Structure 1
Amino acid sequence: MHMNSAPHLLAEDRPEYERILDDALRHAHERPDLAAVGERLNAVQLRTMALDATALITATAATEYEHYVKARKELRGPAEGAGQDSGHGSGTDDPNQSGAGIGAVVTVLAPVLAGTAAFIFLLSGYLLRLLNPPPSFASTMVAAGWFFAAVMAAAILAAAVGLLITALRNGSTSQPAEDAENELPEDVARAREAWRHALLERGILPFLRDALADPDAGPASRTPHRSANRIPKIGYSRPDFTSPDDGPASGPRPTFTSPDFTSPDFGGPEHELD
């Protein structure tokens, strides 16, 4: 990839771009050059404009972003390889995953099936009790209905406890985003910070300043990477056209004269020479 080309912003980095943009808008009033936010354009309008010009703004930090992506890719390379190797291992995780899947199905279906059975048995039993005389098995059906109702309550309680334990386990093993960033290697963290700084100082802030100065201009005309002092000029110049009068002196033009026609010295056939 050429260093001057702007790589496409990866989907995983777009939230970071939006966070930097939101932080710049949140602290806009602390900057004198952005103090006009809310007068001609508000923060929501500026954010929408900046999101529409994401490709143009991120192009101003293309070199830093390319370096950051490359460093991150090198960091993830061994980890991804190890993950793939573990996936092709002895397959001991398959029974565990299968067991976890069966447990989840039972946890979901048990309350539903027990509740359905309780409803059917209770309804049938109490309806049979209305008969005169009631059948002998009416009380048995009512008792069975209450039994399934108790099973449904126990299944719901077990499912709730299981969800609570899972949430606590995931909460204890998960790490905040700040801790994950602090654990990045120094070169990756430095590349990421360089990209953030370049994106803010060379992309987002100049875009917001230009948007406040000229709200009616299009996003391409206010994007910083279009300015002459940020990109090299293309090496060509306008051809020099001159008028014909500026050329070398022309020589004398040829002159033409009409042919000299004279009458013949002889007459017609009826005249003879003297």
Structure 2
Amino acid sequence: MHMTSAPHLLTEDRPEFDRLLDEALRTADERPELATLGERLNAEQLRTMALSARALLSAAAAAEYDHFVKVREELRDVALSTPSGAAENDSGQDEDDGAGAFAVVAVLAPVLAGTAMLIFLLVGYSLKMIDPEPAFARTMVTAGWLFGALTVAALLFAVVGLLVAAVRNSSTEVAAEESVPVPDELSRAREAWRNALLERGIMPFLRDALADPSAVSGYPVPRTPGAGRIPDLGYTRPDFTSPGAPSQGTRPGYSSPDFTSPDFGGPETGPE
């Protein structure tokens, strides 16, 4: 059974181990110590072996990793305890509420104005067909055209407002991404851990596995199609032997207990 999780690494940092391992295998042709890749073991076999030994390899950079985690937790605590984060969230909530109200007005205003225009024009022109024409028919038509102009103005206002909101949101997103840079201390700690894990953990393991697979004992390689014969990695089956034949050696003596029946007299000794 292969060990696929490392108790030393946190869950959020395990993908970083996988990325470093994949990078080392991908650039194996640039490293002289991995020049024999593919002769005894291929990349997939090495990757499986390294993943099964993840806890052992990550322990080689334990000091750097502990420092990296400590720096990261301190920065997170500072960020959570800063009240500016809550203030920014409140201001952002207010901006979202304002944008939502503007969107509602921008949608409803043209609809309501257009509906009023249709009603007034329909009623006004219907009244103009009556003979004699009512006095307020012309007023209804005029009101309908006024609502028509209002509809056009509302549509233009909505389009301009939506464009302005889109530009504002895009600029806010860019500013937010630029305003949260990775602190230098955290970046240095992370890079120190990556280098230590790669140079003291992953690379020595891959180099030793390629030079002498038996030196990496305890991590058997899975059989890969087309990989040919898989070398022995020092993992052997226990030596089971069947018990010897009865003629071999001396068997321990065993005799059944000496059960004797009680003395029974014959018929002539019956009760008097």
TM-score scaled by structure 2?
Answer: 0.49
